[in-house]
């Protein structure tokens, strides 16, 4: 969970206390927003939490793709898998026999 008091800090403070921040990033799994002149500029996070974020994003993109495919099928824009596979076999057999 993001904690405003803990997870927003200045870049200068991050530079002075890098080891403390690295330990915090590993333990909390939460990113830290770094500010420059009071304006948010950077987000720093552990490699482990970044990898987890990428995996969640990949999962969500797959789910979204499946949902879009199902919606298109419901709108009549698709064809049943058996028909698609038969069509593919026909095309492949035609190309192989040439």
Is-above-0.75 flag for pTM?
Answer: no
* β-pairing verdict for 8-10 and 32-36: parallel
pLDDT of 4 reads 65
> Residue 42 in contact with residue 34, Cβ under 8 Å?
yes
DSSP state for residue 80 in the 8-state scheme: -
> Residue 49 in contact with residue 31, Cβ under 8 Å?
yes
Nearest to 7, CA basis, from 19, 29, 16:
29
pLDDT of 19 reads 97
Please, what are the averages of pLDDT over each run of 10 residues along the chain (98 residues)? Answer: 79 97 94 95 95 97 95 88 92 85
d(CA 46, CA 56): 15
Instruction: Kindly calculate the radius of gyration of the chain based on its CA atoms and give it in whole angstroms.
Output: 25
């Amino acid at each position: 969970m993001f904690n405003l008091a803990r997870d927003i800090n200045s870049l200068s403070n991050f530079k002075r206390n890098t080891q403390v921040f690295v330990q915090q990033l590993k333990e909390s799994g939460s990113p830290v927003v770094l500010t420059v002149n009071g304006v948010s500029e950077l987000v720093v996070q552990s490699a482990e939490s970044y990898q987890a974020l990428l995996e969640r994003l990949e999962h969500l993109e797959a789910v979204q793709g499946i949902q879009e495919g199902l919606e298109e099928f419901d709108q009549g824009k698709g064809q049943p898998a058996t028909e698609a596979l038969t069509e593919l076999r026909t095309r492949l057999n035609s190309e192989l026999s040439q």
